[in-house]
Structure 1
């Protein structure tokens, strides 16, 4: 039977997975954005596409190369939740 402890563990595992999966895409984008911002500050170039385009390319590249891992993590979590649900109901 499901109690508050088990429900809390399931929610905590879901939140942890969301943070890890989103950090995989966000952190490289933040690093590239910081580098571009420093470059713009040094050269005093205030072009909007210069700050947007590299972050977009890096984010898409991370999704292309890390997409399989992200999808695997999400599928494994979903399968694990269904297995837990089957054992907790009976």
Structure 2
């Protein structure tokens, strides 16, 4: 296994991480911005007002995109495990 293969595997891993985490991060970010705009407009400074909507959004994303996320991760893990014999030179 040479350095090119190591960097390729690392790049694939980082891309998978970004792909799987993007839906959750984007939805929670959008909810956080909307709640912040609401708090600024109404001058309500309540800590739970930011936490609860983000938590509900995260649960909603996991309910909708969770099976897709798990499928992507399982396929990636399967391909990495199956590539071990060829990477080890066997």
What is the TM-score of this pair, normalised by structure 1? 0.92
- Report the number of matched residues: 89
C-alpha distance after superposition, 1:24-67 (max 9, x if no partner): 21110000000000011001111111111000000011011111
What is the TM-score of this pair, normalised by structure 2? 0.92
What's the counterpart of residue 8 of structure 1?
A: 7
- Superposed CA RMSD in Å reads 1.0
What's the counterpart of residue 40 of structure 1?
A: 39
What's the counterpart of residue 57 of structure 2?
A: 58
**After TM superposition, which residue ranges in structure 1, 4 or more long, deviate above 2 angstroms?**
86-89
Paired with 1:46 and 1:83, the residues of 2 have a C-alpha distance of 52
SS at match of 1:7: helix
Paired with 1:86 and 1:69, the residues of 2 have a C-alpha distance of 28
Q: Which runs of 5+ in 1 are unaligned?
A: none
Paired with 2:2 and 2:46, the residues of 1 have a C-alpha distance of 55
Paired with 2:83 and 2:23, the residues of 1 have a C-alpha distance of 27
Q: Which runs of 5+ in 2 are unaligned?
A: none
